[in-house]
Structure 1
């Protein structure tokens, strides 16, 4: 973008008009009074448009793109080849530095992001917005520019995915800087049960995910109290909520030892919760997310002061969600045209709500399933393949 101010040169005999670009890596454009014509104005507008578009593209890039492009392990790079971190798109300056220090972590950050995206798609599979990815760079597209509940959930579940992946990689010995969990023995664990084994290192996973995922937000230097600053605070709140979900839901797992399965001895360790449970928990937080706004002190506050302020486990949003009914390039909404719906359901997956009252088309399709299964001695099950014709419905 260009500032609206015009400055005159010290040489009054030859007026010079200067426009300074506000975009990163901007430039000064100087025109003399004779050159300041409609052509010059058109040139300025063209450069400003390119600058704005470039800035939007930069903002759209995200570390989420690591989920969309396979990452080779660092040992796959031969001497003299281009370094791993310089090939990864979407990393901020701080994240790229962390990449250089912890190259073996990047594969698992990508896996964590992929886990988060898949869980998002599962949780919203029957909603108008179904967490669809649109490209390999911005992943979710322009819809993430809206500070909505959906954006809040996406940030939380992605951060949770990284904690999950890094914690497990530590336990499996895949990372050089961590190993099995060293969590303290729970006080309520029976004395005759052994506390050990090789647990998921949730402490390390939480710390590293906080350092990496939040790095992008902490690098931003927006004016305090601005909309951009408010969005940064919102992202940090939701990142933390995702990490807290994985950390707090980790539980104790035990294994029996003894003659003939007598379970005379038990060994216990810390284990991550199934990520589906994490997704369901965050989906509940999505439904009860807090509507926030920025105050004069540059902090987020509740829009409705009658409610309790959000805890670190809660999601926060600032903008109302679009209805996602129609395709809208400016908001990034993909619309629901062509989406499958359930004719008999009265929920969000029902044709009435999913299709936003536009109606739906019916068609028949073949469905295949295993049937007439029989057990054969010894020892396998043999099934037939049955075909049935089912009705399906898609939104107009």
Structure 2
């Protein structure tokens, strides 16, 4: 039930001249159903309240307006902290998370584990490197900027993530996949909050507790749930942008689950495989990135099926327990040019809702955080220079490559000596 708005009134002595009634409403307070109506305020009080409001908005922004879209992704900029050799204070990273995100690490939810936070940051770092590898032959090469919260650039990709284009869909999906894969792999270390799932032996005739395998499974169920709470639950909205965001996040998590591979360990005397224990583990992230890149090339344009509903309930289906259950899906439909049929995108599809010109990434656009393709290195033998350079000419640059270990040879006894080789190489650069 909605709470009644709280009215707070401040009054000054009668000697002050009466001032008109003011209604200073902060967006953050609107989200909490608090309406502050202030009357007859002294200027110093107004300045103090404005300063406190700005500070709260900068640190814990939970606004549901369009300006707050993906502001909760500012913690991505902490990905470099994940590989610090020395111990780092978890509280240093607190204000890069929103309140709802930080609540996922609270002790009540058994998630306040520095290693769990570190694993999430490692997942972002892994996703960024794979994004650069997969998009190296595209006009947008997953370039990042320095996050600047003051000027409306709350994440490492800037305002580009505000656009509903295929590149944004791929970025959101691979970030979600990176967090999921990293958390799932971290579960094999038997974290307190991540239960260890030991798969039963493959041979039904073997005793169930005969072998205790070191480590444990990659707990994909826990990882998907954690990534969903950390990414999905912190965004708010009811438009096609928000629904597409949830869909692409889910596509990234599904890619991790789909590419999981089975590994088995044989047991028996004299090397015989009398019975074996099997478990599933996360595949290499390069394989996950290749799957998402393939989905990127086949991205589906969508629109919102209903201007009000976010989810749509479809007919009952038979669940794992044999009971009939209703399933909710995101309310999106495909946009097809030569068809009037309304079909839903598959859960494995990457979706977008906005078209941009083919030369959108060719020139530098500071507002959209696009660096352009000038001075980009391309591969002339692969035939992508004309594509990356947007039809502009490209030049050949010569440089010297230093190989510190070449012509290595073994010297008796127990020593390896190498030479330092300098070779001349060339590369193609867009003008």
Please give the range of the TM-score, normalised by the shorter of the 2 chains.
0.7 to 0.9
- Residue of structure 2 aligned with 1:67, choices 49, 56, 79: 79
In the alignment, the residues of structure 2 paired with residue 362 and residue 29 of structure 1 have an alpha-carbon distance, to the nearest angstrom, of: 67
- The equivalent residue for 2:355 is 320
In the alignment, the residues of structure 1 paired with residue 130 and residue 246 of structure 2 have an alpha-carbon distance, to the nearest angstrom, of: 20
- The equivalent residue for 2:140 is 129
Tell me the CA shift for residue 387 of structure 1: 2.8
- The equivalent residue for 1:117 is 128
Tell me the CA shift for residue 123 of structure 1: 0.7
Alignment partner of 1:310 is 2:345: yes
In the alignment, the residues of structure 2 paired with residue 332 and residue 243 of structure 1 have an alpha-carbon distance, to the nearest angstrom, of: 27
Tell me the CA shift for residue 122 of structure 1: 1.1
In the alignment, the residues of structure 1 paired with residue 374 and residue 38 of structure 2 have an alpha-carbon distance, to the nearest angstrom, of: 46
- The equivalent residue for 2:195 is 179
In the alignment, the residues of structure 2 paired with residue 297 and residue 311 of structure 1 have an alpha-carbon distance, to the nearest angstrom, of: 20
Contact 2:82–2:119 under 8 Å retained in 1: no
Cα RMSD (Å): 3.8
Contact 1:72–1:107 under 8 Å retained in 2: no
- The equivalent residue for 1:367 is 401
SS of alignment partner, residue 295 of structure 2: helix
Tell me the CA shift for residue 329 of structure 1: 1.5
SS of alignment partner, residue 390 of structure 2: coil
SS of alignment partner, residue 161 of structure 1: helix
Within 5 A, what are the aligned runs for 1:202-217?
202-217=220-235
Alignment partner of 1:345 is 2:382: yes
Distance 1:70-1:88 versus aligned 2 partners, 3 A rule: farther
Contact 1:258–1:264 under 8 Å retained in 2: yes
CA deviation profile, 1:124-149 (whole Å, cap 9, x unmatched):
12211111121245111111111111
Distance 1:366-1:122 versus aligned 2 partners, 3 A rule: same
Alignment partner of 1:144 is 2:161: yes
Task: Normalising by structure 1, report the TM-score.
Answer: 0.74
SS of alignment partner, residue 327 of structure 1: coil
- Residue of structure 1 aligned with 2:182, choices 144, 154, 165: 165
My pick for the range that moved more, 129-138 or 140-149, is 129-138
In the alignment, the residues of structure 2 paired with residue 66 and residue 315 of structure 1 have an alpha-carbon distance, to the nearest angstrom, of: 26
Tell me the CA shift for residue 372 of structure 1: 4.2
Alignment partner of 1:240 is 2:256: no
Contact 1:60–1:142 under 8 Å retained in 2: no
- The equivalent residue for 1:301 is 333
Contact 1:200–1:271 under 8 Å retained in 2: yes
Task: Normalising by structure 2, report the TM-score.
Answer: 0.69
- The equivalent residue for 1:88 is 94
Contact 1:148–1:317 under 8 Å retained in 2: yes
- Residue of structure 1 aligned with 2:219, choices 193, 201, 213: 201
SS of alignment partner, residue 243 of structure 2: helix
My pick for the range that moved more, 356-365 or 370-379, is 370-379
CA deviation profile, 1:331-379 (whole Å, cap 9, x unmatched):
2211011111122332xxx221111122123221112445545567888
Tell me the CA shift for residue 69 of structure 1: 4.1
- The equivalent residue for 1:5 is none
Tell me the CA shift for residue 150 of structure 1: 0.9
Contact 2:187–2:217 under 8 Å retained in 1: no
- Residue of structure 2 aligned with 1:355, choices 385, 389, 396: 389
Distance 1:124-1:143 versus aligned 2 partners, 3 A rule: same
Distance 1:391-1:309 versus aligned 2 partners, 3 A rule: same
* Equivalenced residues, count: 344
Contact 2:146–2:156 under 8 Å retained in 1: yes
SS of alignment partner, residue 106 of structure 2: helix
Tell me the CA shift for residue 196 of structure 1: 6.8
In the alignment, the residues of structure 1 paired with residue 204 and residue 200 of structure 2 have an alpha-carbon distance, to the nearest angstrom, of: 14
Q: Give ranges in structure 1 of 5+ residues lacking alignment.
A: 1-13, 31-50, 78-83
SS of alignment partner, residue 263 of structure 2: strand
Q: Give ranges in structure 2 of 5+ residues lacking alignment.
A: 1-17, 31-35, 40-56, 148-153, 309-330
- The equivalent residue for 1:40 is none
- Residue of structure 2 aligned with 1:252, choices 249, 255, 262: 262
SS of alignment partner, residue 391 of structure 1: strand
SS of alignment partner, residue 254 of structure 1: strand
